[in-house]
A and B are shown apart, each in its own frame.
Chain A
Amino acid sequence: MAKVKTFDFDTLSNHAGQRPDKETGSRAVPIYQTASYVFRDSDAGAAMFNIERGGHVYSRISNPTTAVLEERISALEGGVGAVATSSGQAAVFNAIATLVDQGGHIVSSYALYGGTHNLMEYTLPRFGITTTFVDPNDIEGFKKAIKPETRLIFGETVANPKTEVLNIPEVAKIAHDNHIPLVVDSTTTTPYLIKPFDLGADIVVHSATKFLSGHGTSMAGLIVDGGVFDWESTDKFPQMTEKYEGFHNLSFTEEFGPAAFISRVRNEAARDFGACLAPHSSFLVLNGTETLSVRMDKHISNTNKVVDYLVGHDMVEWVSHPNLKDHPNHDLAKELLPKGSTAVFSFGIKGGREIGQVFIDRLDLFSNLANIGDAKSLVIHPASTTHQRMTVEALEEAGISEGLIRLSIGIESVDDLIEDLEKGFRTASKALKK
């Protein structure tokens, strides 16, 4: 049987969402640095305000440069549409706020970026939204944690920093059996390494600050709607299925069908919470997407070599990466992430926190900073930085020990990277012997 040939990933990552500017012929996506847009006439203005015409009204809600990015990531993920946000954290919050009301509940993997954990553990309860955290490897745990008021399951595709791989097909089944969506954060994997929608996820969020942008230049986030979840299979989502007084009694499922969720995100979360992405940042992320596959291949190949180097090093107590056979998700990663799982992983250094700091401070190429997914290699000590607000118990639960060091492997020469790490270990070894 014939197979329909559509554009490949590398073509979409360079072109999707853009039609060259008719007036100027600009090949690069123009930066529309504008807050608002002149209406053709009063009726056209009224029409755009009332979702009768396509177009842009005000850059908090949509912007032509940002719209290219939204389409491009949606195309790469295989979704129906996307909304860009001012950061990955804003993407997570807006996705949750669209689906969960006061009194609602989330079931989340406990293997999370520290900022997401903080949001769920400390901040959302202020608004009456609680979270039960479960071991991502305990599939039954997800099922047991679901309550009548649970509105979504959340997890990271490959968690930061301990590299737990979410079993998306199995967790999605649990979610769907309970008529709730699975929301996944695919920041560390990008659509190049995994396609969560193909595996059963319903909504994907990204911190585009990381690999999508790829150069550590911009804060950005994205929410992508897979367009498959049946909001009308349950009465749990009146915000999707019932008339919305905040938009002239619009019913999102009735009017937008497969695009109901993302339409609600744009017409409520983007409009009312205001965490919009700056057009210049959109431009920078778009530049990043053009080289996404090339960079990810290099990130992964470098990571493979660095992991092999670390495993054999006498200053290293353990390495947590799905490449390794002793990783609990080694087989799952091979199945779900055949091109490679992640360039962000962690290892334990002998001597704990103090020796770890000596090691980090000696590195020249690896930058000690709070980010991942840069073209340049990065290092950090999570227990004292990104995850410092977590309690000792929560850190233990997430497997983040005092000696854990997180690496984000860049695309420099891997020989130079290994030499840099070796310098750090030599200095750390001397400090350990003192």
Chain B
Amino acid sequence: MYIDVDNHKTYIATGSKEHIDGNMGMTFIHGTAMDHTVWTLAGRHFARRGLNILAVDLPGHGRSEGDVIPSIEGMADWVVKALDASGQDKTIIVGHSMGSLVAFDVAARYPDRIKHLAMVGTSIPMPVGDLLLDSAKEDKDVAKEMVNFWSHSQAAHLGGSQVPGTWMIGKLGRLLERSGPGVIYNDLKACHDYVDGVERSKQIQAPTLFILGEDDFMTPVRNAKELVENIPQSSTVMLPNCGHAIVNEAPNEMLDALATIV
């Protein structure tokens, strides 16, 4: 459905169910140059279980209008406005990759709005190499190819999708190709520049679930270690043979992990 945020038409996927007043919200935030479709399975699942799903398309992504937001903090402020616009006082918040930083920042700075935080395929800091950033800045196709390549484990490059008949590399590649000019650079740069996260992690009050891929090349597990240790109420689900694109490679295990916090 569409809502208005900052005078821009904004899309949120609801898991094919209408929101019910008073029900708990569950907000999903996509990663770099992606959109709400990475959450389709999870969104449909938790909608059936009665949660009000808000799988947002950030401004300038997917179906949402507006300019891209150049910082994680700005995206977090926008998410809170989206919660306000859709009448969600409190929510479980789930983010993948860049979206995990946004979810984290919301949880750190707006603790009253968050019941539970889940960070999927994450690390703080989330540095991006010069080669990728430079390619993205020039909007070269190879930047999207690099993101797609490094987002998947070696095993996933040969397939084995849990969704029958889906070629994961092709599907994520097409999704990245759909992103508009400058989007991938904006998002990668925002991740790269979000350097205050470890310090901010001490502000996190919500129970936090980490869902990490053992073979994540983009946000290696070792880079999440300090973050995990800083958050008192945290738990971790480590997925073997899984890369960064957990939403693509291990949607079932991600669903099972998320079910533990709902």
Contact = CB atoms under 8 A, between A and B. Distances in A.
A56 interface: yes
Contacts of B35: 257
B165 A82 contact: yes
Nearest to B34: A257
A15 B167 CA distance: 13
B166 interface: yes
A265 to B, nearest CB: 9
A234 to B, nearest CB: 16
Interface in A132-161: none
B158 A80 contact: no
B13 A71 contact: no
A56 B140 CA distance: 38
B164 A54 contact: yes
Interface residues of B, number: 41
Nearest to A259: B171
B13 A255 contact: yes
B161 A71 contact: yes
Given A19-B155, A258-B174, 10 more contacts: A1-B140, A15-B158, A19-B160, A51-B41, A52-B42, A71-B160, A81-B167, A254-B13, A255-B44, A257-B178
A46 B165 CA distance: 20
A227 B160 contact: no
Given A4-B142, A227-B170, A255 B165 contact: no
B48 interface: yes
Interface string B41-64: 110110010000000000000100
Nearest to A11: B158
B247 to A, nearest CB: 12
A82 B255 CA distance: 24
A242 B111 CA distance: 38
Which residue, B40, B145, B155, has most C-beta atoms of chain A within 10 A? B40
B158 A81 contact: no
A6 B172 CA distance: 14
Nearest to B168: A71
A342 interface: no
A96 B51 CA distance: 38
B34 to A, nearest CB: 9
- Size bin of chain A's contact surface: 35 or more
20 contacts: A4-B149, A6-B149, A7-B158, A17-B160, A19-B160, A46-B48, A51-B44, A53-B41, A53-B45, A54-B162, A56-B164, A66-B165, A67-B164, A68-B159, A71-B160, A71-B161, A81-B170, A227-B174, A257-B178, A258-B178
A83 B165 CA distance: 6
Interface of B: 13, 16, 35, 37, 40-42, 44-45, 48, 62, 131, 135, 140, 142, 145-146, 148-149, 155, 157-167, 169-171, 174-175, 177-178, 251-252, 255
A74 B167 contact: yes
Interface string A50-87: 11111110000111101110111011001111111000
Contact of B251 (A2, A54, A66, A256): A54
A304 to B, nearest CB: 32
Contact of B165 (A52, A81, A256): A81
B158 A19 contact: yes
Nearest to B165: A70
Given A255-B13, A257-B178, A62 B165 contact: yes
A240 interface: no
A109 B44 CA distance: 41
A257 B165 contact: no
A4 B62 CA distance: 25
Contacts of A84: 165
B16 A262 contact: no
A24 interface: no
B171 A227 contact: yes
A80 B171 contact: yes
Contacts of A51: 40-41, 44
B145 to A, nearest CB: 4
B252 A6 contact: no
Contacts of A62: 164-165
A324 interface: no
B160 A75 contact: no
Contacts of B13: 254-255
A81 B171 contact: yes
A62 B169 CA distance: 20
A399 to B, nearest CB: 36
A80 B174 contact: yes
Contact of A52 (B45, B146, B159): B45
Given A81-B167, A256-B37, A2 B157 contact: no
A43 to B, nearest CB: 9
Contacts of A7: 157-158
A17 to B, nearest CB: 4
Contacts of B146: 2, 4
Closest 3 CB pairs of A and B: A54-B162, A70-B165, A62-B164
Contacts of A250: 16
Interface in A17-61: 17-19, 46-47, 50-56, 61
Contacts of A61: 164
A157 to B, nearest CB: 19
B255 A18 contact: no
Nearest to A255: B40
A78 B155 CA distance: 18
Interface in A282-311: none
